């Protein structure tokens, strides 16, 4: 009687509230030693929604807008590096852009950032004096001080690893994709800081740069980060967070439409997406199992049983399997006393459960021989569900 109640309540509940996960939880390859999630895991959180801008190049909804053309946004987000009495001029917001002039020194963001996506646009006067590094030199310094060069080298040769779009002193851009001086240029920069701990290089960091939509740096290794006439060691330690800076190199330059987004952490930096360490995987699998198990508390009957089985998939905890085994055994025992007509109503949950058990066996999470699994197969055979 008790077992029949379980079966019947499960049937009612299944009809009333079909889980969005129904039939999909045991689907792709299972979690393993370096992947806390299954392939196509329906329990994996949905990516956060980001509302893109109406125009590509403008700030999406989750960006920190560092300069929108107004004096107010300049004053709120930026500060001069040098004190007032140590510099000869100021950066100013005018006519929708940020104007840097010689003697104003660097400016830097008030906030600090780490790995980020940075969009920034810049332009020069149509006809600038100077040659080589002396024509329209400025620079975008990512957190930690690694420079993406800004220069008017549209038609102005200089050393390649110091041209616009270069990771300065490290890597020339793959192409000179500049527009003619006087027009606006755009940079989209994806920056991953070097991560060195206790002298061990965990990730030397990388930079991807698009100049006017053209990829000129493609996950370029930072090779220690460069500098003027300087090659740094790959073991150079960079801060976890730092300000973004714009360079005063003595030449006037204009910037506009500056925004930044934080990037999700890499596995080496605490991220839990992708292939991660065995230690991090174990911890994450336990966390997922706890969340899934907690969500089972709101369920009854078959839905609850399936959630408990799902939770077990993540942590393979023996105590958790005891609970699974008890639920499955009780459910299968309940099925044994049903008439053929009543069993027919159980076809969907039985199929789900069989799929789950087969899945767990395939990934050696439960024994290859498991009596309730064989009993389910026998019942399915009796009902003619195994016919093709």
List residues binding Mg ion (CB under 5 A). 137, 139, 247, 249
Tell me which residue has its CB nearest to Mg ion: 139
**Crossing angle for the helix pair 278-296 and 301-315, to the nearest 10 degrees:** 170
* Residue placing its CB nearer to Mg ion in the complex, 139 or 349: 139
* Residue placing its CB nearer to Mg ion in the complex, 253 or 320: 253
Return the bridge partners of 207, or none. Answer: 191, 220
Phi-psi region of 23 (alpha: psi -120 to 50; beta: other; left: phi over 0): left
| Rounded distance between C-alpha atoms, residue 172 and residue 175, angstroms | 8
Q: Which two tokens stand for residue 217?
A: 């740096």
CB of 138 to Mg ion, least distance (A): 6
* Residue placing its CB nearer to Mg ion in the complex, 147 or 310: 147
Q: What share of the chain is helix, strand, coil (3-state, %, to 5)?
A: 30, 25, 45
CB of 179 to Mg ion, least distance (A): 18
* Residue placing its CB nearer to Mg ion in the complex, 135 or 285: 135
CB of 163 to Mg ion, least distance (A): 10
Phi-psi region of 40 (alpha: psi -120 to 50; beta: other; left: phi over 0): left
CB of 147 to Mg ion, least distance (A): 6
| Rounded distance between C-alpha atoms, residue 266 and residue 146, angstroms | 19
CB of 111 to Mg ion, least distance (A): 22
CB of 155 to Mg ion, least distance (A): 18
Q: Residue 322's CB: how many other CB atoms inside 10 A?
A: 11
* Residue placing its CB nearer to Mg ion in the complex, 100 or 301: 100
| Rounded distance between C-alpha atoms, residue 4 and residue 333, angstroms | 9
* Residue placing its CB nearer to Mg ion in the complex, 132 or 270: 132
* Residue placing its CB nearer to Mg ion in the complex, 136 or 349: 136
- Map tokens 């840097």 to a residue: 100
* Residue placing its CB nearer to Mg ion in the complex, 250 or 274: 250
Q: How far is CA 283 from CA 33, 72, 146, 288, 365, in A?
A: 11, 45, 34, 9, 18
CB of 87 to Mg ion, least distance (A): 18
Q: Which residues fall within 8 angstroms of residue 318, CB to CB, at 6 or more apart?
A: none
DSSP 253: E
CB of 139 to Mg ion, least distance (A): 3
């Amino acid at each position: 009687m008790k077992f029949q109640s379980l079966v019947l309540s499960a049937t009612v509940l299944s009809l009333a509230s079909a889980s969005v996960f129904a039939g999909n939880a045991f689907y792709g390859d299972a979690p393993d030693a370096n992947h806390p999630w299954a392939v196509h895991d329906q329990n994996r959180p949905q990516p956060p929604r980001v509302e893109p801008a109406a125009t590509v190049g403008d700030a999406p909804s989750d960006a920190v807008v560092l300069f929108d053309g107004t004096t107010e946004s300049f004053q709120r987000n930026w500060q001069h590096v040098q004190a007032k009495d140590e510099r000869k001029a100021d950066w100013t917001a005018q006519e929708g852009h940020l104007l840097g002039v010689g003697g104003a020194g660097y400016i830097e963001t008030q906030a600090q950032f780490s790995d980020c996506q940075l969009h920034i646009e810049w332009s020069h006067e149509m006809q600038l004096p100077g040659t080589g590094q002396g024509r329209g030199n400025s620079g975008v310094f990512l957190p930690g001080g690694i420079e993406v060069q800004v220069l008017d080298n549209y038609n102005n040769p200089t050393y390649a690893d110091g041209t616009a779009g270069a990771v300065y002193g490290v890597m020339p851009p793959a192409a000179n994709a500049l527009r003619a001086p006087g027009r606006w240029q755009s940079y989209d920069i994806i920056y991953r800081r070097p991560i060195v701990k206790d002298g061990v290089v965990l990730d030397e960091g990388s930079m991807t740069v698009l100049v006017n939509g053209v990829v000129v740096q493609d996950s370029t290794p930072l090779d220690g980060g460069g500098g003027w006439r300087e090659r740094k060691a790959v073991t150079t330690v960079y801060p976890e967070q730092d300000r973004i800076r714009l360079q005063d190199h003595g030449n006037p330059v204009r910037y506009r439409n500056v925004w930044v987004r934080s990037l999700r952490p890499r596995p080496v930096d605490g991220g839990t997406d992708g292939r991660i360490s065995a230690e991090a995987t174990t911890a994450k699998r336990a966390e997922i199992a706890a969340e899934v198990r907690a969500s089972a508390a709101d369920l009854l009957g078959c839905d609850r049983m399936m959630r408990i089985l799902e939770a077990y998939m993540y942590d393979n905890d023996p105590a958790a399997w005891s609970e699974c085994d008890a639920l499955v055994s009780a459910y299968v025992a309940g099925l044994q006393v049903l008439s053929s007509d009543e069993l027919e109503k159980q076809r969907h949950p039985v199929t789900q459960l069989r799929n789950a058990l087969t899945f767990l066996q395939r990934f050696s999470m439960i024994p290859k021989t498991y009596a309730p699994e064989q009993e389910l197969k026998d019942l399915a055979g009796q009902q003619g569900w195994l016919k093709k």
